[in-house]
Amino acid sequence: MKTQAKLIVIMAFIALSLIKCETALDPNYKWLMSLTQPPGENENAQVVGEAAVDPGSSTVVAPVGEQEFELQVSDITGTTDFIFDTTKTITIQITVVDPIAPVSGCMVRFLDVVDPVTSRVIFKAVTDGSGNVKGSFTVNSTTNQVRLVVDVFGETIIRDINIGSVKQINRTLTFLSQTTPVTIIDSDNDGVADEEDFYPNDPSRATKINYPSDGGYYTIAFEDLFPKQGDADFNDYVVRAKFEEDLNTEGKVVRIRGNFLHIAKGAGYNHTFHLNLPNVTGATYTLKRYKPDGSLEFETTKTVESFMGVEVMPNSSTTLSSSNSNTNQTLVLGKKGEIEIVLANPISKLDLGPVPYDPYLYVINTKKEIHFAGKYFKEDGTDIYIDPTGFPWALMIPGDWQWPYERGNIHEAYLDFRAWYTSEGNEHNDWYNFPVTGKVFPIN
């Protein structure tokens, strides 16, 4: 008898191992895999929902027999105002319901798909008590397709969405039979399984989003003569900038990180560089500045009731040793500012707004602030930061952008630039990848 019992245990173990192996390959059976996880691995687990679950788990929905669903597509298409954007931001509302009630706890992901093996998370959240996920994602304007992935009932529902003319992705997933809960391994009990949780031991955070999504940087370039029209060389003050957002389970932003490297100063004026986060209500931030050799030069931590006017980079006469704008120069890197902002209250992506948020240049000589277009308006409704010819004083470009040489201008350095903005972004939205050799400052 003992031998028989042993044999049964061994057989059962082998069977379980096979299931695990198979489920690891097939995302449709991920829920089954979670059932095979040994209980009690995580001591701090709680029971969530009505089902009795093992320690180290919380409740998600699982299939009862074969699940059929309907996907209602109510995406909103149209054009948004063109304000010299090289990125686009699309708002999201995804709802999951079954015949009885909204389905909470479903993982909703949006991915920037680079190739068949590479994709990057651009938004992620779990459906709330109303079965909803709301937020937004920001991608380069050249991105034409994103992937929606919804994990529900252990099934993974995947839809590729052409975002060419989409302003809002609005979809309702209706399951035709009722759902029942199963367990996931969730060490911090935030409702996101460990394997999906970028911060598996921090219940306040679940996801990290990079801007740009490739983990590289944008180039932010200012003209500094405001309110006078600039000379369009876009080299007066240039930084390389990258951002990260930490999202909680609901997809709300709880932390923001920004990284700014001073890279050109083709200007007689001096400046300071600042950041506003207009709708943030309270934060503690840590700002560090590094010398070009990487050594820490300055560090401060402050708690503030709003996040407005924070000086990220000091006087530009002290942050870069070369103008990096003349033909006889080679690229010299300047100082770098790094800021991490821990928000007092989670904020919806819809309230926070997209990167780069509201960075601005303060020109010491003229005492003027210079912001991106589309944010500040006169009483008559016209944009303060669009000049009479329809031109802005600030641009943000994805990646390694080469600014025009001193006494040059963006029109002769980038021959597709004019067609891009006169078509309101519809044509040549990759204009910045095609500089005219000899008209731009070499960055390599």
| Residues in touch with Ca ion (CB under 5 A) | 186, 188, 190, 192, 197, 199, 202, 206
Q: Shortest Cβ distance from residue 108 to Ca ion (Å)?
A: 16
- What DSSP character marks residue 81? P
Tell me whether residue 190 or residue 245 sits nearer to Ca ion (CB atom): 190
Instruction: Specify the residue, 97 or 253, whose C-beta has the smaller distance to Ca ion.
Output: 253
Q: Among residues 44 and 142, whose Cβ is nearest to Ca ion?
A: 44
The distance of closest approach from Cβ of residue 363 to Ca ion in the complex, given in angstroms and rounded to an integer, is 43
Our CB check for Ca ion shows the closer of 69 and 198 to be 198
Those residues whose C-beta lies under 8 Å from the C-beta of residue 112, and which sit 6 or more positions away, are: 119, 120, 122, 139, 143, 146, 213
Q: To the nearest whole angstrom, how small is the minimum distance from the Cβ of residue 146 to Ca ion?
A: 24
CA distance 156 to 173: 12
For the CB of residue 255, give the shortest distance to Ca ion in the complex, in Å: 12
The phi and psi torsions of 199 (rounded to 5 degrees) equal: -120, 75
**How many whole angstroms from its chain centre is CA 41?**
33
Tell me how far, at minimum, the Cβ of 58 lies from Ca ion, in Å.
Answer: 8
**Cα 18 off chain centre by:** 38
Nearer to Ca ion, 133 or 225 (CB): 133
> What phi and psi values does residue 6 have, to the nearest 5 degrees?
-60, -45
Phi, psi of 370 (to 5 degrees): -125, 115
Q: Which of 70, 142, 151, 85 is nearest to 112 (CA)?
A: 142
Residue number with CB closer to Ca ion (155 or 186)? 186
Separation between Cα atoms, residue 408 and residue 269, nearest integer Å:
18
Distance in angstroms (rounded) separating the CA atoms of residues 268 and 365? 9
Please report, in angstroms and rounded to a whole number, the separation of the first and last CA atoms in the chain: 75
431 three-class SS? helix
Q: Encoding tokens for residue 75?
A: 């995406």
User: Cβ of residue 427: shortest distance to Ca ion, in angstroms?
Assistant: 43
Residue 211: φ, ψ to 5°: -125, 115
* 57 vs 143, beta carbon nearer Ca ion: 57
Give the span between the Cα atoms of 184 and 190, in whole angstroms: 11
Given the complex with Ca ion, which of 58 and 429 has the nearer CB atom?
A: 58
Nearer to Ca ion, 199 or 360 (CB): 199
Q: How far is the CB of 243 from Ca ion (least distance, A)?
A: 20
| Min CB(349)–Ca ion separation in Å | 18
Dist. CA 59–CA 180, nearest whole Å: 9
Token readout for 410 is 């963006």
Least distance from Ca ion to the Cβ atom of residue 32, Å: 20
What are the contacts of 414-423 at 24+ separation with CB within 8 A? 421/82, 421/84, 421/390
User: Cβ-closest residue to Ca ion?
Assistant: 197
